Structure 1
Amino acid sequence: MIDTHAHIYASEFDNDRDKVVERALAQGIEKILLPNIDLESIEPMLKTESAYPEVCHSIMGLHPCYVDENVDQTLEIIYGWFAKHSFIAVGEIGIDLYWDKTYQTEQEKAFVTQLNWAKELKLPVVIHTRDSIEETLNLLTQTQDGSLRGVFHCFGGDTEQAKAINDLGFHLGLGGVTTFKNGGMDHVVPSLNMDYVLLETDCPYLAPVPHRGKRNEPAYTSLVAERIANLKGCSYQEVISITTENAKRLFSI
């Protein structure tokens, strides 16, 4: 399995990061992908990648929740990192209108700017959406020239949104929300095209049942895979096989 979205560089893992990685490997996780969020997360992310070079791969971008009036300067620094280090994708990027809409215009600018980086660098993108799937789809549709590819991480939308995302050539990252009784994904997952599905945790957040409310970690990817297999009426191994190949192809790992 591949956990395509994990923040194990976060301070929540400072006391037992080695054990977390050990548990992931023991559970069958072969790769853990690390998306950046802001300027402060770059150093711990790269340090974590360096500590587990066969397992961890870094992704560089500016998370929408960390966009503010200094967005131009921040993006300039972020962009500079692509010349200094090899990253497998641009992310996580996107639009988040859940907490605050103050910087929506700046978020949209940062999103499109980073989509254009992906075109230039020929890299996939990792997209964060919260209360913003339609806004994100509109901008992505305007920017898509056939070369953009990537994943809508932590997907929790409906079947029509899933189809619209797939029609643009993008994948869906399924995580802990897939296991929630009130998450609504039991009505969506059965109809999903598995050729566009990836597994993720978004740890330390959104731990799947039965760990909901606790710290999430990559080893719990298997619980997401089990839930998808149950909802799709297919085998656990089939889910692992398909999603792993999807991730390897998308991120060239």
Structure 2
Amino acid sequence: MAWDPEKYNQFKNIRYQPFFDLMELISGNDLKNGIDIGCGTGEQTSILSKKFDEAKFSGIDPSPEMLAKSKVFESNNLDFKQCSVEDFLASDDRRNWDLIFSNAALQWSDNHETLFPGLIAHLSEHGQLAVQMPVQKENLLNKILMELAQEKPFTDFLHGWKRESPLLSIDAYAQIMFDNGLHKIQIIQKVYPIIADNTEKLFDFISGSSLIPYLEKMSPHEQELFVTAYKNRIQKAFKKFPAVYAFKRLLLYGCKTK
């Protein structure tokens, strides 16, 4: 099941606020190049490029559907490439980056104990790392999704598969960043409330991201059963509407400069 840029951007205002908060942590000093890992449609990379207009930026993303929207943002200082973070780290490109940026993408990659040191190793001597990820283990819609996927008949539909969140503890990220030479470390867990008038709005929010890998493993009939059950669980979890969904995100920043 392909990513749908239109569905993902249905909650653009909600999804973009963490991006702006993360961007505010970045210093423009000595910033000559930057890479946006998991750039999606490229719109956020374009905003970065305009703010730090003396730097050249690249955006990478594994989704061709998302990248198809990036063409309108290309410029002399901004280019895009279809590439996963795993391929980026495994490539022969050894250039060092003044900024490695990733907003709501690295939660899709496993083994953060090795992923983050690998990213930090690609920073220049004054490079900055800025990452934002949803705290899926603590977010209610993700909890409901995980519980449902482990119940019959859905666990049979999925052949026992489930998507475990790779996120580590705040302490673990702080230690990794410190051990790999980052300074001025900031790690912030912040709630970005979503106000929903009904179950459909909450379902639509998660269906544009976390739900995708589950549905792509099911037949159309199985998808219909799963979606119906999931919506019922959401309805039970939120006793009244309008409801507030306390969506938690983790913002991480560090730089090589003391």
TM-score, length of structure 1 as denominator length? 0.34
The structure with higher relative contact order (CA 8 Å, sep 6+) is 2
TM-score, length of structure 2 as denominator length? 0.34
More helix by share: 1
